[in-house]
Amino acid sequence: MSALADLYPDVRSIYIDFLEVEKFDPDLANYTLINPTLSIKSAEVAVKRMVSHALTNPFLHFRIKGLPRDSRIEIRKLRAKHLGTFVSIEGLVRKATEVRPRVTIAEFECVRCLHRITVEQEGMLFHEPLECSKDDGGCGRGTGSTKFKLLTDPSKFVDTQKIEIQEPPEGLRGGAQPERLVGYIDDDLSGRISPGDRIMLNGILRSQQKGSQVKSTLFEISLDTNSIEYEEHEYEEVLITPEDELKIHEFAASPDAFDRIIASISPTIYGYEQEKEAMALQLFGGVSKLMDDGTRIRGDIHIALIGDPGTAKSQILRYMAQLAPRGIYTSGKSSSAAGLTAAAVKDEFGEGRWTLEAGALVLADKGLCCIDELDKMNDQDRSAIHESLEQGTISVAKAGITATLQSRCAVLGAANPKYGRFDASRNIAEQIDLPPALLSRFDAIFTMTDRPNAEQDRKVAKHILKAHRRGEVKLHESPEKITAVDAMEILRDSKDLMPAMERDFFRKYVAYSKRITPIMSDEAVRTLEGYYVSIRKLGEGDEASVPITARQLEALIRMSEASARARLSSLVSGEDAGRSIKIVEYYLGKVASEGGKRDIDLIATGTSRSQRDQMYELRNLVQQLSDERRGVSAEELIQKAGAKNIPEDRVRALLKRLSDAGEVYSPQAGYFKLASGERIG
């Protein structure tokens, strides 16, 4: 207390652990929970008497931390009985306004007699004096015959901030929408919170009447924050007991551990073995590193699923969002202002202030962000998402707000092909409708095509029917009594649809694995280096394409590290490296090869080597054939290009690309002319 007296008013908060109060006087502790306003106010008054400067600065706060478990209430469970009581609320900060002053003690002057009147301001509504009271020496005039002028200098102000928190995703049952709560923060606590933070707010639940013109009997709730506690540990929400630890190590030691992990990923979805393996690795994640020069290298593994409609993309994403600790499922075309990234907005919420709002990637910080319909995201997200994928941050600079929010999450994205369905006769990479700069930041890109194939179709159909049948039987309380079908047989037969690991255990296993930071063995380094160099070699020679870039090498490293983590091993083995090579080979073979040849530029730049050659060719044709006035007709170009083995639809596609890039323009419909003498890149 004496320390406070010395530091006051720079330090104006006294922190008390609730346990201390309870030890000192259980009745007082109990009273504080039920009637915190009075209890805390009395404590503040008592302390102010002891601190002499109190007269010059009215702010001094008694802040209580560590409320008992009973006072922890989920946002959706807040009820009328909690109004006015002390509660502890856990959540994820979604919005935070700028810090702005609020008047707490307003000084007025009566314009007729110059008498000073002080009005203490409580809550959000501004209170003015009703009369210049004679009792304390005024002239006695009411608001009808005099006016009151606010004197800002002698008035007292306090910093305030308004925030909105939402329920943490892991507490939500099966895809329920998170509920939200508004919180007010005062004085020295304001300005410390950013959107995306996981916090516990301790405070008093208040109510405000709805409606400004016509008063309603309905009330809104909000929290008057008394103290803030931060969630310190990344995976704190997953509690691991010593018995769990034993089970976790036992599991990791079993020879089929990895197979069982894969068998726990969307078991009701048939096939996609490689995809599931990659998604399992994504959950464990690579090692995030801080280099000596201050650069951070991400450990998060990003995966994109691009496929025909009805290939279970959405289903898989939803499953993964529930399985992963801190998983979030969202859609690229989400309607909130913050979208996937973040936004600064000036709306009702801020009451005149700017509000910083966190999008899905920020809310999923240190978790998994599953983004469906990635191709439909808005332009603002499209430009801000790169930073998040690579650096794990999102910067907002708008209207005087400059903020950097954390978004260190792995991304599992899903998108449809450009024209809704893959066209088997065309190059797959051409049909992916994502900017190459974005696509090349994914560590693995899987394409899922859905073409009729009798053998495969039968297997998928069998699997889906089995899943539905099992679901039907499971709705019955006593399946052994069913006579029409052999229900027990159906249950036994579909055992493989059960996840090989229970979800709770799986989450614990993943959370536990994050404690391990594996190091690459000599063998792993040799294996990865050998693979990289040998694939690059395929591209040597002057006419060659680039088969693979350093980005894929980093992807290989991350996946190898994740594979070691999945075994709880602190050493990345050659086998781990082999597993990641298998995955990269699998997807590159599908998306980054043309005519059997590897060409990473299909992903990295969106144009293959052969396409680039054709583009130069076509550009030359436009230049040669153009006449001064009209340019050259599409028909003529198609005919001449045909002679050079460039098919018609390719010519049309390339013409569109050249126009989009501003290389050629149309002086009139159907004619093309070179825009400038510049080269194309």
Binding site for Mg ion (CB under 5 A): 314
Considering the rule CB under 6 A, would residue 309 count as an interface residue with ligand ADP?
yes
Instruction: State yes or no: residue 71 binds ligand ADP (CB under 6 A).
Output: no
Query: Which residues, other chains included, contact 102 with Cβ-Cβ below 8 Å and sequence gap of 6+?
Result: 121, 157, 158, 159, 160
Q: Which of 193, 27, 174, 230 is nearest to 99 (CA)?
A: 193
Tell me the C-alpha distance between 593 and 587, whole Å: 10
Q: How far is the CB of 260 from ligand ADP (least distance, A)?
A: 19
We find the least distance from the C-beta atom of residue 314 to Mg ion, in angstroms, to be 3
Using an 8 Å Cβ cutoff, are 661 and 671 in contact?
no
d(CA 74, CA 85): 14
Q: Which does 270 bind (CB under 5 to 8 A by kind): ligand ADP, Mg ion, none?
A: ligand ADP
Query: Of 318 and 551, which CB lies nearer to ligand ADP in the complex structure?
Result: 318
Looking at beta carbons only, is 58 or 271 nearer to ligand ADP?
A: 271
CA 570 – CA 67 distance, rounded (Å): 39
Among 488, 562, 475, which residue's Cα sits nearest to residue 520? 562
**Least distance in Å: CB of 428 to Mg ion?**
19
Q: What x-and-dash track marks residues 464-503 binding ligand ADP by CB under 6 A?
A: x---------------------------------------
* 598 scored as a contact of ligand ADP (CB under 6 A): no
> Looking at beta carbons only, is 59 or 272 nearer to ligand ADP?
272
Question: From CA 264, how far away is CA 21, in angstroms rounded?
Answer: 48
**Which segment (220-228, 292-300, 310-318, 483-491) binds ligand ADP by CB under 6 A?**
310-318
Residue 73 binding result from Mg ion, ligand ADP, none, given CB thresholds of 5 to 8 Å by partner type: none
Side chain identity, residue 169 = P
CA–CA dist 650, 645 (Å, integer): 10
By CB under 6 A, tell whether 312 contacts ligand ADP: yes
Structure tokens at 455: 């053998």
Q: Among ligand ADP, Mg ion, none, what does residue 286 contact (CB within 5–8 Å per kind)?
A: none
d(CA 593, CA 397): 40
464 binds, among Mg ion, ligand ADP, none (CB under 5 to 8 A by kind): ligand ADP
Residues 188, 12: Cα–Cα separation, whole Å: 8
Residue 550's CB is within 10 A of a number of other CB atoms, namely: 9
Q: Which amino acid is at 503?
A: R
- Residue 315 interacting entry, from Mg ion, ligand ADP, none, C-beta within 5 to 8 Å by type: ligand ADP
Q: How many other C-beta atoms can be found within 10 angstroms of the C-beta atom of residue 327? A: 24
Residue with Cβ nearer ligand ADP (147 or 451) = 451
Helix (H) or strand (E) holding 205: strand 198-209
d(C-alpha 566, C-alpha 558), whole Å: 12
> To the nearest whole angstrom, how small is the minimum distance from the Cβ of residue 310 to Mg ion?
8
User: Among Mg ion, ligand ADP, none, what does residue 405 contact (CB within 5–8 Å per kind)?
Assistant: none
Q: How far is the CB of 487 from ligand ADP (least distance, A)?
A: 22
Nearest to 419 by CA among 649, 662, 664: 649
- Using the rule CB under 6 A, is 505 a contact of ligand ADP? no
Q: Which does 436 bind (CB under 5 to 8 A by kind): Mg ion, ligand ADP, none?
A: none
310 binds, among ligand ADP, Mg ion, none (CB under 5 to 8 A by kind): ligand ADP
369 vs 604 by CB, closer to ligand ADP: 369
Residue with Cβ nearer Mg ion (59 or 446): 446
Report the length, in residues, of the chain.
681
CB burial class (10 A; 0-12, 13-18, 19+) of residue 300?
Answer: buried
Q: How far apart are CA 440 and CA 425, in angstroms?
A: 24
- Least separation, in Å, of the C-beta of 576 and ligand ADP? 28
CA distance 427 to 596: 11
Residue 314 as a binder of ligand ADP (CB under 6 A): the answer is yes
DSSP for residue 420: S
- The residue among 269 and 410 lying less far from ligand ADP, judged by its C-beta, is 269
- On whether the CB atoms of residues 381 and 359 are closer than 8 A, the answer is yes
| Tokens encoding 166 | 């939402």
Residue 374 C-beta: closest distance to ligand ADP, Å? 12
Distances (CA, A) of 451 to 344, 388, 424, 448, 456: 45, 35, 9, 10, 9
Distance in Å, CB of 27 to ligand ADP, minimum:
58
Handedness of CA 423, 427, 430, 436 (dihedral sign): positive
Q: Which partner, Mg ion, ligand ADP, none, binds residue 269 by CB below 5 to 8 Å per kind? A: ligand ADP
Residue 460 interacts, among Mg ion, ligand ADP, none and using kind-specific CB cut-offs from 5 to 8 Å, with: ligand ADP
Compare residues 310 and 667 and give the one whose CB is closer to ligand ADP.
310
At its nearest, how many Å lie between ligand ADP and the CB of residue 588?
22
Q: Which is nearer to ligand ADP, 270 or 586 (CB)?
A: 270
C-alpha triplet 647, 652, 656: angle, nearest 5°:
145
Q: Are strands 593-594 and 355-358 parallel, antiparallel or unpaired?
A: unpaired
Closest approach of ligand ADP to the CB of residue 450, in Å: 8
**Whole-number Å distance between alpha carbons of 315 and 199:** 31
Kindly tell me which residue out of 61, 313, 408, 619 binds ligand ADP, with binding defined by CB under 6 A: 313
Q: Considering only residues 32, 225, 311, 563, which one is a binding residue for ligand ADP as defined by CB under 6 A?
A: 311
CB of 437 to ligand ADP, least distance (A): 25
Shortest spacing between CB 314 and ligand ADP, in angstroms: 3
Shortest distance in whole angstroms from residue 368 CB to ligand ADP: 17
SS percent in the chain: helix, strand, coil, step 5: 40, 25, 35
Q: Provide the mask over 264-293, with x wherever binding to ligand ADP is found by CB under 6 A and - wherever it is not.
A: -----xxx----------------------
The whole-angstrom separation of Cα 498 and Cα 500 is: 6
Rounded CA-CA distance 420/424 in Å is 13
Total residues interacting with ligand ADP, rule: CB under 6 A? 14
Residue nearest to Mg ion (CB): 314
- Is 393 in a helix, a strand, or coil? strand
Contact 392, 298 (CB under 8 A): yes
The residue among 372 and 601 lying less far from Mg ion, judged by its C-beta, is 372
Nearer to ligand ADP, 181 or 317 (CB): 317
Asked if 460 touches ligand ADP (CB under 6 A), the answer is yes
* Chosen from Mg ion, ligand ADP, none, partner binding at 283 (C-beta under 5 to 8 Å by type): none
The token pair at 56 is: 């010059």
Question: In terms of CB distance, is 39 or 311 closer to ligand ADP?
Answer: 311
Dihedral sign (CA 287, 293, 296, 297): negative
Segment near ligand ADP (CB under 6 A); pick from 190-198, 325-333, 383-391, 457-465: 457-465
| Under rule CB under 6 A, residue 658 binds ligand ADP | no
The contact set with ligand ADP (CB under 6 A) reads 269-271, 307, 309-315, 460, 463-464
